[in-house]
Amino acid sequence: MTDHYETQEQKYRLKNLDCALCAAKIEKELQRTPGVRSASLNFASGTLALDTDNLAAVRQVITNIEPAVEIEPLERYLHNEQDANPQDWPRLARLGIAAVFWLLGLVFHARLHSLLFGVAEYLILGSVYLLVGLDVLKAAWRNLRAGNWFDENFLMSIATIGAFAIHEIPEAIGVMLFYQVGDYLQDRSLAGSRRSIQSLLAIRPDQAHRKTADSFETVAPEAVAVGETIIVRPGERIPLDGIVSAGQAQLNTAALTGESVPRRAEVGDSVLAGMISRDGLLEIQVEKPFAQSSVVRMMELVEHAANRKAKTERFITRFAKVYTPVVVAAAVLLALLPPLLLPDARFTDWLYRALVMLVISCPCALMISVPLGYFGGLGAASKQGILIKGANFLETLSRVRTVVFDKTGTLTRGVFKVLEVAPHAGHSAEELLEAAAYAEASSTHPIAVSILKAYGKPVDYTRISDVEETPGKGVCASVDGVMVSAGNDAYLHYLKISHEPECCELSGTLVHVTRGGDDLGYIRIGDELKPESLPAMQALRAEGVQRLVMLSGDHSVIAADTARDLAIDNAHGSLLPEDKLRLLEDYMHNTGHAVAFVGDGINDAPVIARADVGFAMGALGSDAAIETADVVLMADDPIKVAQAISIGKRTRRIVWQNIVFALGVKLAVLLLGAFGIVNIWLAVIADVGVALLAVLNSTRVMGGKQR
């Protein structure tokens, strides 16, 4: 399901990109440009992801389509102030002057028309028209020469020039003026939306205080090497991943996990870049270079997500390429056929109706609001500590009706403890526990950790050799030259070690320990539910999830008990990784909706990758989880699965509101214009108003409250 990013991809900012249709054309042209291996342009964020050795050709393509657009390297994760648009005041002044002269023209229209046989009217009002619309005319001509027809500049130019031709001069100026004012408001709204989204990503640490012999020096995070020590003062953001070597503090982790509850950090604790020290001075020994830190990986994940388009987004792009030419052709036929076929039909009347159709036909409302809606959804999710790897997965989340969970570490704490040490006759509890500890000493499994903790003594690793771990069963090792094993009942059968028949009937999480082929006894291990697990199941039901499933490697009796406590529909226990994959595929084949799987991102990597949407739970700082999952939950909280589904459904709902609203208004105005009921004034107001409202509606994705 997921892609692995190992390309030469670079990110660029496209400055002054305010035309959604132009953005789609740029992306399409770049994808077939020699020397460009991949190109993905995200209009909502104004960024271009490129894998190319021919940047000069890229610049030429962009210039040919939209000369005003400038391409520049993207300074990752920093809030870019260019969207503030320093050209606002000259633009507003020009529009204000044009508006004043247009109003004067309306008042003195009759007198101007009578001067010099109407020449004065064309000279004065024509000058006002050029003042407000010259840049639109230039853009239309430039695009025509480049073979790019049917954009908003072309449509507005033809409509207003046509109005001049039928001597509707004040109307032509008014239409262009309203269009420019609406375009300005739309640009400001779009820029504001981009800034609100980008602000979520502006958590990149700018500096680090590297410890020296007698003080510290402030350097860029990139300049700090692994093993060096940095100092983080109260109120500062941790710049690199590491281990606390001195001090203690309450850490604000909201930027990474979306959680408001602070986390305590003391000596020996791992801390991650992006966390903020609230009240203490910390000394941190750096474990990873800045490029591999959690905050950088998180930001890269969000950036890459913006370039994975949803099916709806791709459909709208294809639709716009067909829709606009069809409407233009219909407008031409509307202007020409009725005067030829209908008696007493005046050409100027029908031309005017055709001009109304041209004004309303621009699909900008769709081309802007749809990608902006998806980008807002990705931003809203990241704000909650939910990293969704693309708009395509965001859309799939809205269709999830079956959620399959791993048990250990996902619904339970995954912090095991030894509940019982049961040696067989002739062996002691100490002997049994020591053998198990030495067998498990090289394993990182939570069960192994609990056994070593219960043993409570240092392990002499020089006594251990030939360690072999079998996933889902157990581990064996040579200890003092004697083979020692620790695993479940299936592992005893796998090793063909004779044991008491009643051992096969015992329930619970049991670790059977053998030495030299002799069954020493078993150790019973316990786990406990996370307090968030039951509310998470209830929240998923509230979001429309119809079936909850649990797949576990634990004994079937334990799996059934856990499922009963959480009101889970189906539970399967005693599973190997391949069994989980087989059962997941069965559920996927037997349902008509999307199926999600939630696991820890390491042991369940194949199942996570196979699901329609794979979740990695509690994956903060986990490379394996980020590589495997489609959705990375930075906090170890299952209720975020319901939040992700909620955001997916909300995003899709808002996107389709925009689609239905924009197409509905445009279709209504097209029909009313064809029958002569709507004039060109209302057409331009409807066109600009629809685009503006659709953009504003898209921003609701960011501000909506989730369950």
pLDDT of 5: 39
CA angle 469, 471, 473 (to 5 degrees): 85
At residue 260, the pLDDT reads 65
pLDDT in tens, 230-263: 999 998 989 999 999 999 999 988 777 766 678 8
Residue ranges, the chain, pLDDT below 70: 1-8, 44, 74-87, 109-110, 112-118, 146-149, 189-190, 192-204, 258-260, 299-300, 302-307, 499-508, 601-603, 619-626, 703-707
> 262 vs 200, 230, 277, CA distance in Å?
19, 21, 10
Task: Tell me the CA end-to-end span of the chain in Å, nearest whole number.
Answer: 27
How does strand 270-271 pair with strand 263-265? Answer: unpaired
**Element housing 689 (H / E):** helix 680-698
Domains 10-82 and 208-303 share a fold: no
pTM of the model: 0.73
Instruction: Looking at the structure, give the CATH architecture of the domain made up of residues 208-303.
Output: Distorted Sandwich (2.70)
In 311-464, which residue ranges form alpha helices assigned H by DSSP? 311-341, 347-360, 364-383, 391-397, 429-440, 446-455
Domain 417-526 CATH superfamily: Calcium-transporting ATPase, cytoplasmic domain N (3.40.1110.10)
Query: What pLDDT does residue 6 have?
Result: 44
Q: What share of the chain is helix, strand, coil (3-state, %, to 5)?
A: 50, 20, 30
The CA distance from 600 to 580, in Å, is 14
Distance CA 569, CA 550 (A): 8
Identify whether the C-beta of residue 289 lies closer than 8 Å to the C-beta of residue 231.
no
Q: Which residue has the tokens 């028949």?
A: 501
Query: DSSP assignment, residue 217?
Result: E
CATH class assigned to 10-82: alpha beta
The rounded distance, in Å, linking the Cα atoms of 707 and 639 is 9
Q: Are 585 and 610 in contact (CB under 8 A)?
A: yes
Domain ranges, ordered by start, for the chain: 10-82, 208-303, 386-413+529-634, 417-526
Other C-beta atoms lying within 10 Å of the C-beta of residue 538: 15
**Positive/negative CA dihedral, 418, 420, 424, 428:** positive
Q: Which residue has the tokens 């990110």?
A: 11
DSSP type of residue 487: E
Judge contact between 20 and 77, C-beta under 8 A.
no
DSSP letter (8 states) at residue 637: -
H/E stretch holding 658 reads: helix 639-674
Active-site annotation, residues? 406
Under 8 Å between Cβ of 484 and 477: yes
Exposure of 264 in the CB half-sphere (CA atoms within 13 A) = 2
Q: Which CATH superfamily is domain 386-413+529-634 in?
A: HAD superfamily/HAD-like (3.40.50.1000)
Q: Is 481 left (phi over 0), alpha (psi -120 to 50) or beta?
A: left
